[in-house]
Structure 1
């Protein structure tokens, strides 16, 4: 995406009606508090400012806000043409994670090639199942912030 595309998309985002921006932001992070705060802080002068505000709003989320965001997160999934064994392994890993921590597993896979996504998710779930609850809670909040940043970049790049 070119700097001009980013600037144009950000300008449209900044100029959108509050409720429209808030609804789009809820697609980036399912916390109503986060989305409201982000929509209220517009206009953002540039993408780094938008992303910094996203991080700040994410760090300020209370446990109930994080739970709300997690409830809105879809579980990482496979394409229908993936092998059945892969689907079963992913379902079992998700079930074990949710049983241990009480919420869905989230991970930002921005740097991961699609062909390696399943392996990355399974490896991450296995590793994170070994975490203490408080450590996993902190890591989950970090992953939510990373997902929100990634989705904000996509939102602005798509030009609204």
Structure 2
């Protein structure tokens, strides 16, 4: 079978890759984007100050390392910045009541927001997974829960960073809402 003539290539304007945009953004924009991922100035400063990153894997490794190095005060600050999770619109009121009661019990016991990474959970299972995790983690002692919450924050930050970088544009590197990364469809959710 013979092919017809090939059309000339269309030249599209150069659009930088999201990592390139992040690497070359002004420091305050990079820090603002990072604060949307994890509300810790120390974490965001550390990652922004070590730019440029050669590839996304290097950026994610740096984000993980910086999250592991958070002090208890940094962790408390990051937890304080976590929003409530957005639930599917068709969630019935009894689920909201159960979640509110569970969140209140958790915060009364541990003194901070409940956080959980839900990036791999199907939307229809979000409520059950949150309730199950809160009930299970209420049995933790405070130190064990601090370690668990720190790991969940690290996973949240990593997932949010991936979402941010997928949509980053040079002119508006930090143009997303913090709560947008916490919906049931995004890879993260907070208290």
TM-score interval (norm. to shorter): over 0.9
Give 1:75 shift.
Answer: 2.0
Instruction: Report the RMSD for the aligned CA atoms in angstroms.
Output: 1.1
Secondary structure, counterpart of 1:65 in structure 2: helix
Cα separation, 2, equivalents of 1:45 and 1:152 = 16
**Matched-pair contact (CA < 8 Å) for 1:14–1:43:** yes
Q: 1:102-152: per-residue Cα shift (whole Å, max 9, x none)? A: 001000001101111000000000000011111000000000000010011
SS in 2 for 1:104: coil
Is 1:128 matched with 2:137?
Answer: yes
Q: Which structure 2 residues correspond to residues 1-160 of structure 1 after superposition, within 5 A?
A: 8-160=17-169
| C-alpha distance after superposition, 1:16-57 (max 9, x if no partner) | 000000011000000010011111011111111011000110
Secondary structure in structure 1 of the residue aligned to 2:17: helix
Structure 2 counterpart of 1:3: none
Q: More helix per residue: 1 or 2?
A: 1
Q: Shift of residue 76 of structure 1? A: 1.9
Number of aligned residues: 154
Compute the TM-score of the two structures, normalised by the length of structure 1: 0.93
* TM-score (normalised: structure 2): 0.78
5+ residue gaps, structure 2, are 1-15, 170-191
Separation in structure 2 between the aligned mates of residue 85 and residue 77 of structure 1, nearest angstrom: 15
Structure 1: tracts of 5 or more residues without a match: 1-6
- Following superposition, the deviation at residue 80 of structure 1 comes to 4.3
Question: Is the 8 Å Cα contact of residues 88 and 123 (structure 2) preserved in structure 1?
Answer: no
